[in-house]
Structure 1
């Protein structure tokens, strides 16, 4: 809870919205521990990843930037249109040529041609990332995820598109809805925290709420509302929706570099592992629909995990670069 308060305060500082007293509070907090310094660096990196600037600064903003630079534990250089990715951001951010994300002051008007341009964040398989949107909302992106938003994101409506999995911590703003488009179904909120899982190959949408309230909308019609602990599962091409209450920390464990499985079928398990480790896994046909697994993955390597599966199931595996083959052992 305390860390979340400082996250929001730091984001406000990065946006130039804090008072001198608040900036001093942040400075004191950073000096309290190496972990605080690390969090500040990570938030700065995430903010810069999706908020590149051009050299259009007024003097007080230059002073603010100098103050922020003094708090970062690595040397910084003011960038123009070149994006330098830090170690935290294993994502590629694509700013289209006509629509690079220039940050204007609140008194300046964006040209209409600029408003329809997209910025796209791509997270490769085997990697994860966290970004900060222009309104201060934080988004954690899982492996193999693509997030898109228009340059007009921070105007009348806050809207993004996602394919893959993301955890959203949305900055509250009752005057501007936050909408996540996932294809046929949209998730609409004003300020809350929730997880969306929407990989194309899974052919299903999963929405889980950690706090607050979200609405699921299809073609202008509200399908349902979810509150804390609520989960909706919608299969592709179907109007049927499965509603349930779940342990949110299990669903969102990936955000803390963990995977938790509970009676998960082998076929579904391997999909997670493919994205987690950035590999392709082939299962022997006769192994399918026969094995379920319950365990946790955190720091284990792919080989260590496969060795664990060998203890549970009579199988053997072969790793050939990024290709993994799993089949029954000769004894099975």
Structure 2
């Protein structure tokens, strides 16, 4: 109804027959419809062109009428009486013809504009969200600030991905590897509600509002860890969607990457089998009270009573090397230590003093033998 009214008022304006009230009404309608306003600008330019020859005007008129019919617009023209005298066509008649042509142009132009906008919006909605990706190679780390002000420390051999529209109404990232997060609270500008921050990993999702925590989820690792320093997080395990686990400050959740039938456990020694999900306190080194789970953020490689196999995996990422065991028995050796500025050779020398083993370095590969 409003578009019909706009076309009617446009016709009266171009014919010079619109009242002041009608012009004000047209202006208000066009303010609420920018596409119509753009079309009117083009019509006005067309109207101000020099009047074409009569034959050209009639041909243009007929072409536009045919296009209107093709577009589905009803058009009825009153036939002239048979005995009507053939008066010469005046300038006024040409102006009225131009008015009809202009209105027809408006209809076609508006139809094209709306069609174009519709196609553009559909095409935009069908495109996948553009993503930002931050990655680190083995032997390197990085720190980034997300658009919402949250900070992320990315450990070696890790990938963090997030949509380019991150922030505002949605805060979700995908993590492969290890990262420490300092998440700031964020209020939605639309709903005035707190927007959660969600980390998606291969085996679980972590949902937070504002907190500091560490997530470790490397491909190929035996387990996925979430360590909460302060604040509150909610963890949803993918293959146990009915279980939502809330972590309190100074707690760590460990999820085995292979399903078992064991329930959630926070009592060490309750079963001879390792539980699928376990809760424990964060670990501090006895010597200088370094928090083991987040020491890497301070550029410290820390391990506390861990098997040589697990220590080797950390060292591979830390030093960008490949470690091979020629003697599998050595994988069970357990170590506790803190490395900061040591080279890989210095670190291996220290470990070999603690528990005897031999090693050799061949390029970028380290061979652990007897």
Q: TM-score, normalised on structure 2?
A: 0.56
Q: Quick one: distance in 1 between partners of 2:292 and 2:352? A: 24
- Please give the residue correspondences for 1:240-259 in structure 2 after superposition, counting only pairs within 5 Å: 240-247=276-283, 249-259=291-301
Judged with a 3 Å threshold, the aligned counterparts in structure 2 of structure 1 residues 222 and 117 are, in CA distance, closer, same or farther, namely: farther
Q: Work out which of the residue numbers 341, 346, 349 in structure 2 matches 1:299.
A: 341
Aligned to 2:316: 274
Q: In 2 relative to 1, CA 114–167 (structure 1 residues): closer, same or farther, beyond 3 Å? A: farther
Aligned match for 1:226, one of 247, 250, 255:
247
Q: Distance in 1 between matches of 2:237 and 2:329?
A: 37
Distance 1:115 1:169, change over 3 A: farther
1:284 to partner: Cα distance: 2.3
Q: Where do 1:1-332 residues align within 5 Å?
A: 112=125, 116-173=129-186, 175-219=194-238, 220-238=241-259, 240-247=276-283, 249-328=291-370
2: CA distance between counterparts of 1:193 and 1:222? 22
Q: Would the aligned equivalents of 2:232 and 2:248 in 1 still touch at CA under 8 Å?
A: yes
Distance in 1 between residues matched to 2:306 and 2:367, nearest whole Å: 19
Tell me, in whole angstroms, the C-alpha distance in 2 between the residues paired with 1:273 and 1:184.
Answer: 24
2:203–2:257: 8 Å Cα contact kept in structure 1? no
Shift of 1:247: 2.9
Alignment gaps of 5+ in structure 2? 1-123, 188-193, 261-275, 285-290
SS state of the match for residue 332, structure 2? coil
C-alpha distance in structure 2 between counterparts of 1:140 and 1:310, whole Å = 31
Say if 1:193 and 1:297 are closer, same or farther in 2 by CA, change over 3 A.
same
Q: Following the alignment from structure 2 to structure 1, what is the Cα–Cα distance between the partners of residues 151 and 235?
A: 20
- Distance (whole Å) between structure 1 residues aligned to residue 352 and residue 320 of structure 2: 21
Please tell me whether the aligned partners of residues 114 and 151 of structure 1 are also in contact (alpha carbons under 8 angstroms): no
**Cα offset, 1:290, TM superposition:** 3.4
- Aligned equivalents of 1:132 and 1:290: distance in 2? 39
| Aligned CA distance change for structure 1 residues 136 and 238 (closer, same or farther; 3 Å) | same
Mapped partners of 2:363, 2:331: distance in 1: 27
Give the deviation of 1:308 after TM superposition: 1.0
Contact 2:202 2:217 in 1 (8 A): no
SS of equivalent residue, structure 2 residue 346:
helix
What is the deviation of 1:180?
A: 0.1
Contact 2:152 2:181 (8 Å CA) reproduced: yes
Measured in 2, the distance between the counterparts of 1:286 and 1:121 equals: 35
**SS of the residue 1:276 aligns to:** helix
Write the deviation string for residues 90-114 of structure 1: whole angstroms up to 9, x where unpaired.
Answer: xxxxxxxxxxxxxxxxxxxxx6467
The 2-side partners of 1:218 and 1:312 are apart by 38
Kindly tell me the number of residue pairs found equivalent between the two proteins.
218
Aligned to 1:160, what secondary structure does the other structure show?
strand
Contact 2:233 2:247 survives alignment (8 Å): yes
Q: Report Cα offsets for 1:150-169 as digits up to 9, x if no partner.
A: 11211312000000000000
* Structure number having the greater strand percentage: 1
More helix, by proportion: 2
Runs of 4+ in structure 1 off by over 3 angstroms are 111-115, 218-222
Give the secondary-structure state (helix, strand or coil) at the position aligned to 2:213: strand
